[in-house]
Amino acid sequence: MSPKRSAAANKKSNAKPSPPPPSSSNPSSKSSSDPSSKPSKSSPTQKGNQQSAPPPEQSTSHIETQEMKGTKDTTLAATKRPLMAPDETEELRKKIKQLEVDLETERMRNDNFLHPFSNEWDMKSAGDCRRLLDRIRTSFKNWTTEYIQCETKALDSLPEKAKKELVRSLDGFCIQVDLDEIISSLPSNLKHKFTGDLVTLFLFSDCFSRFFTNPYWYMMPDPTIGTHEQIEPSPTHFGQQLYDFHNTFGHTRQRFIQPWRSWTARLCNPAREVNNDFTDQTVARRELIVDGMFKQVLATEFLQPLFAAPKAENWIETREQELKRLYHEAAQLSVDVSTHPECLEFRTLKEIEPNYHHSLEDIEATVRYSLHENKDRLDGHRILAMESPAVYCCDDRDYPRTVQLMMKGRVFIEDKD
């Protein structure tokens, strides 16, 4: 061996072996790295496909564009067909409208200003109203005993026209027949001093008709009672609209009329212990209107001849001041009642049975008949007059509405000796 060839052999034997290629799970990768395998020649077609393949970013964008196009086509196709039938759409609209009404009602209930039991107003409970109404009637009775000629013979001084006017003014509290027929049908212990009872009935029924059947009397007095000539300030156009709407609303007997009425009454009246111009003006207006109504009562044709003779120097002035005070008390009570979420309903002779029976749950004879020993003695007899109406406490917020008897009506019954 030559020296050159020997040196070359020694250099080749001393060279470090090259590291093996990294292992791969792909069989094709293993076979391609195998020195014994022959590399395959790519065809021209494969080489062209490899060169024309888009980069990864371009391929993803192309796929997203195709998906968006498909979604758009689906949306357009969906909008071309109706979502639901017309009757289903109308039913859904009704439900949405009812939900809006319910939400608004609940919002107003939760509002402190219009909360059903807000203590911002001097509201009277049903028990308070029963006690105060009875006290007002008793006060009228005491006033009559002091200032009116209670003997029945005092009615002889009235002309026939005045007697008819007296009976007509007691419509609902007295049967509409001749006054002499009414008196002659009473028992002897009542007929000789029935004038005082008639005047008490007149005063109580007048307050009842003016204040308790018209919750907005301070805005628009009932036009069917007297005239507005002596009542100042005169009714406003808004008061007339409110009065007409309340009457129309009341005749429909729909639910929630009392909550609407109580909220409206609160908006028309100042809250308790609130001092501002609105409070002063509202209270002053109410007092002026009550004063005007009181003047109308004093000017009644059949009342003047029935006054008793003065007994002291300031007797007439005291008589008028006491009666005016009672009218203001009744007016204030009606305002307190109207702001309460529960309402009072009164039943007079127009709503009860014309003949008495001891089993009737909402009326009873006055105590002067002494029927506790013989309850059915006057069953079937005609009811002549009503000392006080039957009072019911009603709640329109419940369904069905709740009605509870608070005070029985007291009546005079035909009982000829």
Block means of pLDDT (10 residues each) for the chain, 417 residues, are 44 45 42 42 43 48 50 50 70 85 62 50 69 90 93 90 92 93 91 91 92 86 64 74 81 68 79 69 87 89 90 89 94 86 86 91 88 86 93 77 86 87
Q: What is the 8-class DSSP label of residue 225?
A: S
Q: What is the DSSP letter of 40?
A: P
Q: In what order do the strands lie in the sheet with 402-407?
A: 343-347, 390-395, 402-407
Supply the pLDDT for residue 163. 92
pLDDT for 205: 92
Do 228 and 217 form a contact (C-beta atoms < 8 A)?
no
pTM: 0.68
| CA–CA gap between residue 102 and residue 230 (Å, rounded) | 45
In the prediction, which pLDDT does 260 show?
A: 80
What is the per-residue pLDDT for 263?
A: 80
* 249-283 core/surface letters (b: 16 or more CB in 10 A; e: else): eeeeeeeebbbbbbbbbbebbbeeeeeeeeeeebe
The DSSP bridge partners found for residue 394 are 343, 403
pLDDT for the residue numbered 255: 59
Looking at residue 146, its pLDDT comes to: 93
Full DSSP string of 67-111? HHHHHHHHHHHHHTS-SS-HHHHHHHHHHHHHHHHHHHHHHHHHS
Any idea how long the chain is?
Answer: 417
Predicted pLDDT at 412? 95
Q: Residue 282 in contact with residue 269, Cβ under 8 Å? A: yes
